[in-house]
Structures are given as structure tokens and as C-alpha cells.
């Protein structure tokens, strides 16, 4: 509908700025302010062409929520200075206005965004100057911060880069197709689990498909994860056999951060042999692998928070609180429950990015062909190469240990290739060095019994306590990563000879066991001593007695005054 323009006088129906701000053509105040510049420039163009009328000014004033006199004043100011047409009505910038300086930014970072503390610091510094400097008021300082710093800068000065990143704008990648890109990461579960009588927080290593949000594979470690955890999770992710299927196959690329476990030579070699590309992301950029980071957050709020032993996030400086009588889950039970949750996530959960589909439905609806890998090849690719050895009558010598197997009978003298899983020193895998054919496993010969291993561990624990390194020693303990429910398994197998040798060394170094108080009995007391019969019998009879201090001893025969012994006849 066309607006009806009245050509009455400038004072007819004119209202104040406050009344017009209430109507203002129905536009928000921010929009009216933003339209001032275009409206004034349009009126200037009309005046330059000689077509400007009072009706044009009235319509502009009505739309902007100001009086016509204000619009005429803006036109006059723009006629004198073209810069005034950029932001009409803006307050003139005074050179005396307080602005945020690098000094104030440094104080904000020092005091973690505490504006009151920054104001006190500025006041103290100004008082030490001669003459005293000028300090803005606290209200002026707050106003300058709101005007000169955006929300991301204020949050970053208060909480660091991670807090500033919450105010950034992030792009989303295209969904792609299944097995195009996987993402992998370690996450320590905020949950205490009973591991052989000790409360520990397990670690989860998993791979997730970016196109379908499916968890393709995972491994759980009672202790700190290593490259063995990455390889175990990679095997479970690539294999599509039970219990890992139907997700899996060879991905085209894997995104990972700069963790030393993921970038180890063994993991890189396994991915190269599987023909999988690696995208090494920069440090401190979790948003570049948002799929697995979202999974890390989801597993806590959707699963771990409801389990016993959940280590609730405490306030800074406070220890996590939990009931004293709370019974923790065992490692085996925790692994079983985690796998059940992963099964629910893959088959029943419907993430928002999938448009109402489950990861399984999205996976099955994708026609992209899968690149499967035989299980034997997966085991070959994910083992570390130890070179070639000669099979002797004692088996295979590896790291000063002998490994034997039943299939070695009648094959002494041949050259074999040894491959092994890191920290799994109880077994090695043997291959033909020429054809690469898998020959079979070999187990540690003369493996120590459970009693010997327990005794060695007790001796090690006593030595560790003496050296005051209990905490450091517990962090160095390694456990095998699990892909299926099972009890926690320690890594670091001992042979019987090694167990006996360590026990013998510990016995020789224990001074309390080396002390032999009755090995050399004391010498016989002098004859003039009144010695009880119970002590006299424990003296060595053949040793010479201590000499007395008689000033004139007799040269021969008994002493002049025979001593009276307890128990002798009167």
C-alpha cells in the first residue's frame, strides 16, 4: 500500500523523538539506527537532483522514529562533512574518551577478567605516579570493555583460549559416505572401576565413522593407554566379523590428534599397510574432529553418569565426592556394560544429524562398497616386526627369553620372522620370512607360576615403598586393552628363572634377613666374673677369656683368691 504523504507545514502533527521512537514504522530500535545512513544518503541524492521536498523528509523521520527537525539537521551536517552521512546522529568522538589499552588488556589477562581487580590495580599505579594520574571510574571501565572488546575477547582474557573458542563460528563438514573418514581418540572415563582391588579410571580408545556416527571399534584399558590400545581398537574397527560387524572395513582416511600413541611408528606402519590415509590435526583443535569429541561428551552424560563410582566433576580445588559405601564395578562388568551401550548407540540411538535414522540404518542405506580385510592380514599388519631368528632346539630366542610351540617339532634350523604385540611378552607370532606365511604362535617357555609372580610383585612393592615411588610405579603398570568383556590382564610376563633371580636378589639385599646374631657366639667371660649358668652355657668354650687387671698375678697355678661362682659348692 502506498503511503499517503501530507504536505502540511513542518510543525503540523510533529511529535517529539520519544513519541516517534515508540512507533517508528514498527521497526526495532537497532534497525532504525542502521537505516539512518542509507536514508540520509538517499535524501542527499534527492537534494542534489533538485527533487527533495518536505514530504520526503517527513516520511524518513516517521520511518526512523525521529523528528523532521532532526533529519534536517543531519542533512545540514552531511552537507558540511560527507563523513557525517555514514552514521548520522552518532555522538562526536572525543579525544578524552577512555579506551582499552594494551596495559588494560594485560591486566585483564592477569586478573582473569576481574574488572574490579583491574580497576584497583589501575588506581594503585596512578597513585604511585608523580603527579597522580587520572583513573576512569569502574562504570567507565565496564562501558569501555563492552564497547572495545567483543564477547570472545572478554571470555578469552578471563578463561583462556578454550573459553574464547565457545564464541567462534564453526563450519560443518559434508556428511560424505561410509568409511570415507574415521576419527579416533583416547578418553579417560570419569568413573572409578575396581581393578584388582584398586580404584582406577579406565581409558577408552575408539574409532567412529563420520558419515554414519557409528562406533566401528573400541578398546578399554585399565591403565594409561599405549599404542597397543590403538592397535587393538583398530583391529576391532576393521574386522566385520562377530562380535564387531556389520560396521568396519578399511576406511579411506583417519583423523587423529598429535598423540604419541597414534603417531607411533608401529601404528603408522599398520595404517600404511592397510592403505589408510592419516590426517594429523594441529594441536589444541578438537573442533576439527568434532564427531569423536561429541562422542566423548555423549558417553559421560548418556551412560557413565548413571553408573556407580561416577567421579562427579568437582569445583576447582575440591576432591570428587562419592559415597563411602559405594560398591564399584569390576573391570569385566564395566567393559560388558560399555559394549552394551555401544550396541544401543549403533542400533537404537537416532542422532540429530542423521535425520531420524540410527547409525545402523544410515550404514545399510549407504551403497558405498566396503573394503574388507581378512582377519589373518589384520593381525599381521597390527604386529610389530622384531626381525628374523633361527629356530633352535630350545625354541626361538627373543629378548633373552625362549619361546616354544608344538608346531616347531622337526623344524629346527629354519629362519623365521618374529612379530609381537607391544607389552604382550607372554606370546609372539611367527611368520615365514620369505613368503610371509603365518606359521603359528609361540609361548614363553618355563613361564613362572602365579605364586612366583605374586612373590615377585610383593618384593617389588616393598622396594617401591622404600624408594617412595608408589604413585609413579602404579602409573607405569600396564594392562592389556580389551575389546570383549573379561577380567583385567596385567602385562609383563615373567619366566620361572627370572622370578627366582629377582627373589634371590631381593633376599640378598634385605639386611634384616642377612643378620645372623647366633653365628659367632660370644667369648667366655673371665673367671673372676659372677656369670649366671644360663649365660655361661651360651659362650664359646674354645675362645680365650678376657684378661683381668690383677696388679700381681701369680706366675703359675690358680689365682690367690679363687672367685666364688654362682652355683658352686660352698
* Cα within 13 Å of Cα(377), Cβ side: 11
Q: How does DSSP classify residue 408?
A: G
Model pLDDT for residues 238-293, shown as the tens digit of each residue? 988 776 678 999 999 999 987 888 888 888 888 888 889 999 888 778 888 889 99
Average pLDDT over residues 332-359: 91
pLDDT for the residue numbered 440: 84
CB 228 within 8 A of CB 418: no
Beta strands, E only, 349-393:
384-390
Give the angle subtended at the CA of 13 by the CAs of 10 and 15, to the nearest 5°: 95
Pull the grid cell for residue 518.
647366633
Query: Does residue 441 register a pLDDT over 90?
Result: no
Q: How does DSSP classify residue 326?
A: P
pLDDT for the residue numbered 563: 46
Model pLDDT for residues 113-123, shown as the tens digit of each residue? 999 999 999 99
CB 485 within 8 A of CB 342: no
CB 203 within 8 A of CB 221: yes
Q: Where in the chain is the domain with CATH 2.30.30?
A: 383-444
Model pLDDT for residues 205-221, shown as the tens digit of each residue? 999 999 999 999 898 98
Q: Which fold has domain 181-365?
A: Nucleotidyltransferase; domain 5 (3.30.420)
Q: What is the dihedral sign for C-alpha 377, 379, 384, 386?
A: negative
Span of 182-196, 328-342, 408-422, 556-570 with lowest mean pLDDT: 556-570
Q: What is the 3-state secondary structure (H, E, C) of 49-67?
A: HCCCCHHHHHHHHHHHCCC
Distance, in Å, from the CA atom of 475 to the CA atom of 472, rounded to the nearest integer, reads 5
In terms of C-beta density within 10 A (0-12 exposed, 13-18 middle, 19 or more buried), how is residue 212 classed?
A: buried
Residues 6+ apart with CB under 8 A from 482: 219, 220, 221, 232, 331, 335, 488, 489
CB 193 within 8 A of CB 201: yes
Region of 76 on the Ramachandran plot (φ > 0 left; ψ -120 to 50 alpha; else beta): alpha
Label residue 369 by pLDDT band (50, 70, 90).
Answer: very high
pTM higher than 0.75 for the full model? no
User: For residue 355, which phi and psi values (nearest 5 degrees)?
Assistant: 65, 40
Query: Does residue 466 register a pLDDT over 90?
Result: no
pLDDT top residue among 467 and 25: 467
Average pLDDT over residues 131-142: 88
User: For residue 386, which phi and psi values (nearest 5 degrees)?
Assistant: -115, 10
Distance, in Å, from the CA atom of 141 to the CA atom of 120, rounded to the nearest integer, reads 11
Q: Where in the chain is the domain with CATH 3.30.420.10?
A: 181-365
CATH 1.20.59 fits 383-444, yes or no: no
Label residue 520 by pLDDT band (50, 70, 90).
Answer: low
Amino acid at each position: 500500500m502506498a503511503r499517503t504523504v501530507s504536505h502540511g507545514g513542518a510543525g503540523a502533527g510533529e511529535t517529539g523523538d520519544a513519541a516517534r521512537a515508540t512507533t517508528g514504522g514498527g521497526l526495532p530500535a537497532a534497525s532504525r539506527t542502521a537505516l539512518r545512513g542509507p536514508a540520509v544518503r538517499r535524501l542527499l541524492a534527492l537534494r542534489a537532483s533538485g527533487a527533495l521536498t518536505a514530504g520526503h523528509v517527513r516520511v524518513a523521520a516517521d520511518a526512523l522514529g525521529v523528528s523532521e527537525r532532526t533529519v534536517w539537521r543531519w542533512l545540514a551536517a552531511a552537507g558540511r562533512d560527507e563523513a557525517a552521512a555514514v552514521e548520522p546522529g552518532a555522538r562526536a568522538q572525543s579525544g578524552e574518551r577512555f579506551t582499552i589499552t594494551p596495559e588494560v588488556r594485560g591486566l585483564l589477562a592477569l586478573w582473569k577478567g576481574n574488572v574490579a581487580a583491574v580497576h584497583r590495580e589501575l588506581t594503585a599505579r596512578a597513585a604511585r605516579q608523580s603527579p597522580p594520574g587520572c583513573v576512569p571510574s569502574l562504570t567507565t571501565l565496564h562501558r569501555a570493555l563492552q564497547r572495545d572488546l567483543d564477547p570472545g575477547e572478554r571470555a578469552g582474557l578471563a578463561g583462556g583460549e578454550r573459553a574464547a573458542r565457545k564464541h567462534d563460528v564453526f563450519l560443518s563438514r559434508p556428511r560424505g559416505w561410509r568409511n570415507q573418514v574415521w576419527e579416533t581418540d583416547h578418553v579417560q572415563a570419569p568413573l572409578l572401576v575396581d581393578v584388582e582391588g584398586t580404584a582406577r579410571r579406565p581409558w577408552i580408545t575408539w574409532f567412529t565413522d563420520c558419515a554414519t556416527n557409528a562406533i566401528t571399534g573400541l578398546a578399554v584399558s585399565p591403565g594409561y593407554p599405549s599404542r597397543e590400545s590403538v592397535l587393538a581398537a583398530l583391529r576391532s574397527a576393521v574386522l566385520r566379523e562377530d562380535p564387531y560387524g556389520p560396521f568396519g572395513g578399511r576406511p579411506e582416511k583417519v583423523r587423529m590428534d598429535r598423540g604419541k600413541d597414534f603417531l607411533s611408528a608401529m601404528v603408522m606402519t599398520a595404517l600404511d599397510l592397510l592403505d589408510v590415509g592419516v590426517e594429523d590435526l594441529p594441536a589444541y583443535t578438537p573442533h576439527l574432529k568434532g564427531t569423536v569429541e561429541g562422542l566423548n561428551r555423549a558417553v559421560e552424560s548418556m551412560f557413565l553418569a548413571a553408573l556407580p563410582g561416577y567421579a562427579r566433576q568437582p569445583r576447582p580445588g575440591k576432591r570428587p565426592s562419592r559415597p563411602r559405601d559405594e560398591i564399584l564395578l569390576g573391570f569385566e562388568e564395566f567393559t560388558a556394560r560399555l559394549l552394551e551401550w555401544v550396541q544401543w548407540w549403533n542400533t537404537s540411538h537416532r542422532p540429530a544429524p542423521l535425520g531420524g535414522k540410527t547409525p545402523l540404518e544410515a550404514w545399510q542405506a549407504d551403497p558405498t562398497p566396503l573394503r574388507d580385510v581378512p582377519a589373518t592380514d589384520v593381525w599381521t599388519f597390527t604386529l610389530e616386526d622384531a626381525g628374523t631368528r633361527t629356530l633352535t632346539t630350545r625354541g626361538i630366542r627373543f629378548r633373552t627369553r625362549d619361546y616354544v610351540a608344538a608346531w616347531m617339532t622337526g623344524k629346527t634350523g629354519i629362519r623365521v620372522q618374529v612379530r609381537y604385540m607391544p607389552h604382550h611378552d607372554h606370546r609372539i607370532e611367527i611368520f615365514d620370512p620369505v613368503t610371509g606365511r603365518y606359521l603359528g604362535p609361540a609361548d614363553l617357555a618355563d613361564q613362572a607360576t602365579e605364586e612366583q609372580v605374586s612373590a615377585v610383585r610383593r618384593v617389588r612393592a616393598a622396594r617401591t615403598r622404600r624408594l617412595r615411588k608408589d604413585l609413579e610405579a602404579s602409573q607405569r603398570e600396564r594392562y592389556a586393552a580389551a575389546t570383549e568383556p573379561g577380567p583385567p590382564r596385567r602385562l609383563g610376563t615373567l619366566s620361572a628363572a627370572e622370578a627366582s633371580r629377582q627373589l634371590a636378589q631381593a633376599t640378598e639385599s634385605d639386611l634384616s634377613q642377612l643378620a645372623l646374631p647366633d653365628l659367632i657366639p660370644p667369648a667366655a667371660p673371665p673367671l673372676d666374673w659372677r656369670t649366671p649358668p644360663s649365660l655361661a652355657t651360651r659362650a664359646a668354650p674354645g675362645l680365650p677369656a678376657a684378661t683381668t687387671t690383677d696388679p700381681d698375678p701369680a706366675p703359675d697355678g690358680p689365682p690367690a683368691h679363687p672367685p666364688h661362682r654362682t652355683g658352686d659348692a660352698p
